[in-house]
């Protein structure tokens, strides 16, 4: 026996012809619940007249009828509830990783954890970034936003490793806001490094024997206790400390609410002055990235992979293209079985699961095993002559063309045609 | 990276801890600590000193430490390894805090370079030790180090491992603490003879302070982390069913047809530039490399 439920809000709108959403609810319903709880269906308002003049009721939902009710449902799904915390009782600070300048899944999980800690006590989740161009903090769940890049432009150019300078900024925030919690992503050498530095600094500052120790590798917070992974297959359960370094999937990301991410200002110019005067002895100098041979990077970690399959005929041209692009080489199973590539280069369920940020598949049709292997790749580009293959469906950018010709043209456009690479061989071939 | 001639000029210490095999659970060398010892042996040869803070009368721990001493082979001179065991006096040694004891000992030892693994495999395993030590000693600390390129009188040049197999070159002023990443060169095997010849000298008189915060924690066997379910937020059942039954496929991909190879290459380069995968200078450097190679 089901309970009959009435939405009083909808009823009121239905009665009020002047309500802006009246038309959404006043549409003649094809299904309703009668007063005694029985579901009634009016078949006359259902369905559409088919091409041969017969009325069809399509229950599979394949033909989308333009019904305003379902449209309103869709919009109700997409709109999130706006949450504004005007006067917070305190702050929970989140320092997102922001790899490549955007919020990662790990960062969203962190914000979810922060909301979990903040919502009980009306605290404001505050994002601390060292980058002014960040999008999506509202959806991620930040009430406030502290951008530290303002005072740090000279000392910390984009992406340089300067943990001591950042630490000085965080200390300033600590002194000004006295946040309830600090949340970092436990990854090296990003948030895990900065968070541990801050935890070590705070444990000394709040002297008196020793301060509270940070919880690292936190994977769950429940009932006021945090669970963190320790060594030797053990978990540590303890009261939630002030500094938490959390693993991925530590909490569910925010999906139902929208927050304001209001920019906050804090006088960090003092820190900048300190740095200019060289008062913060960093002891660390970043000498920049080192060029790594892309072929030496383990395939599972490689950021950029040019992968070849059966569609490649000119293998020298392919290797040359990989060199020109600076990409690691990958291969499908067919290319490996045919002896064109080494077994260690095979991508897929029977080879290596790759996690490249860009994966270019040349002449690979996309067997299921191969698609499983590239499931974690962020951007997939397919170059294939068959427009109906699975790889084209998977790809973010698909080019329907011959792989060899495109790679040759690519090298030419980048200023390194292959003829210049091996002129003698080419000449001999031409002569023959 | 060569062993320096004047070994007394640079004093290198490796902090080691007992490890646990990830599958079998057997006690032995900790993987990252072993890499740190390997790095120290390559840097300082047999002048490398090892240190550990723990219970002096624990037989299993002693076996672990001897495994580190067994790495002192294949060096220029066959001096046996030396390990200082800072005896934590308390009854239950695991309840003592190693940080103050180690900090005091390191401050007196005159060490310039202290190597250790990123995270211990037993106990708390928080990876905080190098940071806490550095904070107490006022030294610089760096983590995730894959290689030591060069050590001068007052600074060391290091390679730090970044995600996706990338490397960053850092210069750090001495004295410093270096936490070694798992991508550092693999450690040499531990041999039985050197491990027997190695000396474990117990350092007494360490003022051990009890680890108070740890007393309030509860250690429990690690639980398997719950797998995250793919939850589809939808009000109607049809969407939920479709999402559950659908094959995962990226939608909204752009398909370009009827292009000449040149046009296709332009589109591809444009996309790669837009996504910042291909940079101008990257191409230039590879051109330079090529011209250098040609010369």
Digits of tens for pLDDT over chain B (295 positions)? 444 455 446 899 999 999 988 888 888 999 999 999 999 999 998 899 999 998 888 888 889 999 999 999 998 888 899 999 988 865 554 567 888 889 999 999 889 999 999 999 988 888 999 999 999 898 999 999 999 999 988 889 999 998 888 899 999 998 899 999 999 999 999 999 999 999 999 988 777 777 777 888 888 998 898 888 877 777 777 777 877 776 655 566 888 888 888 899 999 999 998 888 887 544 444 444 444 444 4
Q: Strand, coil or helix: what is A50?
A: coil
Q: Half-sphere exposure of B195 toward its Cβ, with a 13 Å CA cutoff?
A: 16
Residue A390 resides in a domain: yes
Chain B contact for A214 (CB, 8 A cutoff): yes
Statement to judge: residues A253 and A390 lie in one domain: no
Residue A392 resides in a domain: yes
**Nearest-CA distance A201 → chain B (Å):** 7
Residues in B 162-191 with any Cβ partner in A closer than 8 A: 162-173, 176, 181
Contacts of A399 in chain B (CB under 8 A): 256, 259, 264, 267-268
Cβ–Cβ under 8 Å, residues A329 and A349: no
Cβ–Cβ under 8 Å, residues B28 and B121: no
The answer to whether the Cβ–Cβ distance between A232 and B125 falls below 8 Å is yes
A85: left (phi over 0), alpha (psi -120 to 50) or beta: beta
The answer to whether the Cβ–Cβ distance between B142 and A210 falls below 8 Å is no
Which of B74, B50, B84 minimizes the C-alpha distance to B189? B74
Quick one: CA torsion of A281, A286, A287, A290, rounded to 10 degrees?
A: 160
Give the residue on A whose Cα is nearest the Cα of B146. A189
The answer to whether the Cβ–Cβ distance between A399 and B256 falls below 8 Å is yes
Q: Strand, coil or helix: what is A71?
A: helix
* Residue A252 neighbours by CB distance under 10 Å: 15
**Inter-chain CB pairs, A–B, below 8 Å:** 264
Which regions of A251-389 does DSSP assign to beta strands (E)?
257-259, 262-264, 284-290, 304-308, 328-331, 358-362, 379-384
**Nearest-CA distance A283 → chain B (Å):** 5
Query: ipTM surpassing 0.90, yes or no?
Result: no
Q: Strand, coil or helix: what is B245?
A: helix
Which regions of A223-265 does DSSP assign to beta strands (E)?
225-230, 234-239, 243-246, 257-259, 262-264
The mean pLDDT value of chain A amounts to: 82
Cβ–Cβ under 8 Å, residues A186 and A195: yes
Chain A contact for B259 (CB, 8 A cutoff): yes
Residue A23 resides in a domain: no
Statement to judge: residues A260 and A334 lie in one domain: no
* pLDDT value of residue A378: 87
Confidence of residue A28 (pLDDT cuts 50, 70, 90): low
Residue A299 resides in a domain: no
Statement to judge: residues A258 and A327 lie in one domain: no
Q: Strand, coil or helix: what is A289?
A: strand
Statement to judge: residues A139 and A251 lie in one domain: yes
Statement to judge: residues A317 and A258 lie in one domain: no
Statement to judge: residues A145 and A185 lie in one domain: yes
Statement to judge: residues A175 and A261 lie in one domain: yes
Which of A167, A46, A39, A157 minimizes the C-alpha distance to A95? A167
The answer to whether the Cβ–Cβ distance between B126 and A187 falls below 8 Å is no
Strand-strand pairing, B155-161 and B167-173: antiparallel
Q: Which residue among A261, A276, A291 closes a domain? A: A276
Give residue-wise pLDDT tens across range B137-162: 989 999 999 999 999 888 899 999 98
Contacts of B135 in chain A (CB under 8 A): 200-201, 203-204
* CA distance linking residue B36 with residue B148, whole number of Å: 11
Who among B131, B217, B290 is closest to A196 (CB)? B131
Statement to judge: residues A264 and A313 lie in one domain: no
Statement to judge: residues A200 and A144 lie in one domain: yes
Residue B56, token pair as written in the block: 């002096």
* CA distance linking residue A88 with residue A123, whole number of Å: 5
Q: Where in chain B is the domain with CATH 3.40.50.620?
A: 7-210
Rg for chain A, CA atoms, rounded? 29
Q: How far is residue A193 from each of residues A153, A200, A254, B128, measured CA to CA in Å?
A: 21, 11, 26, 9
Task: Give the residue with greater pLDDT, B91 vs A239.
Answer: A239
Q: Which of B169, B277, B281 to mutate to test the interface with A (most CBs of A within 10 A)?
A: B277
Q: How far is residue A407 from each of residues A324, B225, B281, measured CA to CA in Å?
A: 10, 44, 20
* pLDDT value of residue B285: 44
Contacts 24+ apart (CB under 8 A), A146-154: A146/A93, A146/A173, A146/A263, A146/A264, A146/A266, A147/A263, A148/A268, A150/A268, A151/A268, A151/A269, A151/A271, A151/A272, A152/A268, A152/A271, A152/A272, A152/A275, A154/A272, A154/A275, A154/A276
Contacts of A285 in chain B (CB under 8 A): 170-172
Poorest-confidence range of A159-168, A327-336, A372-381? A159-168
Q: Strand, coil or helix: what is A42?
A: coil
Q: How far is residue A234 from each of residues A399, A416, B126, measured CA to CA in Å?
A: 50, 55, 12
* CA distance linking residue B29 with residue A165, whole number of Å: 36
Q: How far is residue B6 from each of residues B9, B48, B72, B113, measured CA to CA in Å?
A: 6, 13, 19, 15
Chain A contact for B149 (CB, 8 A cutoff): no
Residue A317 resides in a domain: yes
Give residue-wise pLDDT tens across range A307-352: 999 999 989 999 999 999 999 999 999 999 999 999 999 999 989 9
Statement to judge: residues A271 and A329 lie in one domain: no
Chain A contact for B25 (CB, 8 A cutoff): yes
Q: Which residue among A276, A296, A326 closes a domain? A: A276
Confidence of residue A43 (pLDDT cuts 50, 70, 90): confident
Residues in A 148-177 with any Cβ partner in B closer than 8 A: 161
Q: Which residues contact B245 (CB under 8 A, 6 or more apart)?
A: none
Confidence of residue A358 (pLDDT cuts 50, 70, 90): very high
- pTM for the full predicted model: 0.79
CATH number for position A419 = 3.40.50.1220
Phi, psi for B214 (deg, rounded to 5): -65, -25
Who among B118, B122, B135 is closest to A204 (CB)? B135
pLDDT at A167 over 60: yes
Q: Which of B22, B140, B225 to mutate to test the interface with A (most CBs of A within 10 A)?
A: B225
**Nearest-CA distance B53 → chain A (Å):** 17
Mean pLDDT of A23-31: 72
CATH number of the domain located at residue range(s) B7-210 in this protein? 3.40.50.620
Chain B contact for A304 (CB, 8 A cutoff): yes
Who among B176, B209, B223 is closest to A235 (CB)? B223
* pLDDT value of residue B282: 45
Counting every residue, how long is chain B? 295
Mean pLDDT of A179-189: 91
* pLDDT value of residue B295: 43
* CA distance linking residue A12 with residue A429, whole number of Å: 84
The number of folded domains in chain A is 2
Q: Strand, coil or helix: what is A24?
A: helix
Chain B contact for A257 (CB, 8 A cutoff): no
Task: Give the residue with greater pLDDT, A211 vs A381.
Answer: A381
Residue A91 resides in a domain: yes
CATH number for position A246 = 3.40.50.620
**Nearest-CA distance B80 → chain A (Å):** 30
**Nearest-CA distance A396 → chain B (Å):** 4
Statement to judge: residues A217 and A308 lie in one domain: no
* pLDDT value of residue B286: 43
**Nearest-CA distance B3 → chain A (Å):** 24
Residues in B 53-92 with any Cβ partner in A closer than 8 A: none
Residues spanned by the domain of A418: 304-431
Residue A380 resides in a domain: yes
Q: Strand, coil or helix: what is A56?
A: strand
* pLDDT value of residue B229: 81
Contacts of A326 in chain B (CB under 8 A): 278, 282, 286
Statement to judge: residues A118 and A222 lie in one domain: yes
The DSSP bridge partners found for residue A218 are: A228, A246
The answer to whether the Cβ–Cβ distance between B160 and A161 falls below 8 Å is yes
* pLDDT value of residue A171: 87
């Amino acid at each position: 026996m089901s309970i009959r439920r009435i939405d009083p809000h909808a009823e009121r709108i239905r009665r009020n012809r002047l309500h802006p959403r009246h038309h959404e609810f006043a549409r003649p319903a094809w299904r309703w619940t009668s007063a005694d709880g029985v579901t009634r269906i009016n078949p006359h308002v259902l369905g559409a007249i088919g091409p041969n003049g017969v009325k069809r009721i399509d229950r599979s939902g394949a033909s989308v009828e333009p019904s305003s009710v379902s449209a309103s449902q869709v919009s109700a799904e997409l709109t999130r509830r706006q949450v504004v915390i005007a006067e917070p009782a305190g702050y929970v600070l989140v320092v997102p990783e922001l790899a490549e300048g955007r919020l990662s899944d790990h960062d969203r999980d962190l914000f979810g954890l922060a909301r979990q800690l903040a919502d009980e006590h009306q605290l404001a989740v505050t994002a601390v970034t060292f980058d002014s161009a960040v999008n999506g903090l509202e959806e991620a769940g930040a009430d406030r936003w502290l951008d530290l890049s303002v005072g740090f432009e000279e000392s910390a150019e984009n992406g340089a490793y300067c943990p001591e300078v950042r630490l000085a900024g965080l200390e300033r925030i600590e002194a000004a806001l006295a946040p309830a919690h600090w949340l970092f992503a436990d990854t090296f050498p990003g948030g895990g490094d900065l968070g541990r530095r801050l935890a070590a600094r705070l444990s000394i500052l709040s002297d008196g024997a020793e301060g509270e120790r940070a919880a690292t590798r936190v994977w769950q917070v429940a009932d006021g206790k945090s669970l963190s992974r320790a060594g030797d297959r053990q978990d540590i359960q303890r009261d939630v400390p002030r500094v938490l370094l959390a693993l991925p999937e530590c909490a569910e990301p925010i999906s139902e609410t929208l927050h304001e991410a209001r920019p906050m200002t804090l006088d960090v110019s003092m820190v900048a002055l300190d740095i200019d005067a060289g008062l913060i002895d960093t002891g660390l100098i970043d000498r920049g990235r080192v060029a790594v041979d892309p072929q030496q990077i383990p395939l599972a970690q490689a950021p950029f992979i040019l992968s070849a399959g059966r569609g490649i005929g000119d293998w020298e041209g392919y290797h040359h293209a990989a060199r020109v692009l600076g990409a690691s080489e990958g291969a499908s199973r067919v290319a490996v079985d045919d002896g064109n590539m080494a077994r260690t280069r095979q991508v897929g369920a029977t080879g290596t699961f790759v996690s490249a940020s860009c994966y270019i598949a040349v002449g690979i049709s996309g067997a299921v095993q191969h698609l499983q292997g590239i499931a974690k790749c962020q951007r997939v580009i397919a170059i294939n002559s068959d427009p109906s293959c699975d790889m084209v469906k998977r790809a973010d950018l698909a080019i329907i063309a011959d792989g060899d010709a495109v790679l040759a043209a690519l090298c030419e456009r980048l200023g390194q045609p292959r003829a210049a690479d091996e002129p003698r061989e080419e000449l001999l071939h031409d002569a023959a | 990276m060569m062993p320096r001639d004047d070994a007394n000029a640079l004093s290198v210490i490796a902090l080691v801890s007992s490890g646990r095999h990830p599958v079998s659970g057997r006690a032995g060398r900790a993987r990252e600590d072993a890499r740190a010892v390997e790095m120290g042996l390559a840097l300082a040869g047999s002048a490398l000193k090892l240190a550990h803070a723990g219970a002096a009368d624990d037989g299993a721990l002693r076996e672990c430490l001897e495994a580190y001493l067994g790495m002192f082979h294949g060096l220029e001179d066959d001096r046996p390894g030396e390990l200082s065991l800072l005896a934590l006096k308390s009854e239950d040694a695991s309840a003592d805090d190693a940080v103050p004891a180690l900090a005091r000992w390191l401050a007196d030892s005159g060490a310039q370079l202290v190597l250790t693994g990123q995270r211990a495999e037993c106990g708390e395993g928080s990876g905080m030790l190098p940071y806490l030590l550095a904070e107490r000693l006022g030294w610089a600390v760096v983590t995730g180090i894959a290689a030591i390129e060069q050590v001068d009188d007052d600074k060391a040049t290091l390679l730090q491992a970044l995600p996706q197999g990338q490397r960053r070159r850092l210069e750090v002023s001495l004295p410093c603490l270096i936490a070694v990443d798992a991508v550092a060169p693999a450690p040499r095997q531990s041999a039985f003879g050197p491990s027997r010849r190695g000396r474990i000298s117990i350092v007494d008189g360490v003022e051990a302070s009890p680890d108070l915060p740890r007393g309030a924690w509860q250690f429990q066997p690690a639980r398997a982390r719950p797998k995250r379910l793919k939850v589809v937020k939808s009000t109607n059942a049809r969407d939920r069913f479709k999402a559950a039954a659908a094959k995962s496929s990226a939608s909204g991909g752009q398909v370009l047809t009827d292009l000449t190879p040149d046009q296709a290459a332009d589109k591809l380069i444009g996309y790669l530039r837009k996504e910042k995968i291909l940079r101008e200078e990257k191409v230039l450097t590879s051109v330079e490399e090529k011209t250098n190679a040609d010369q």
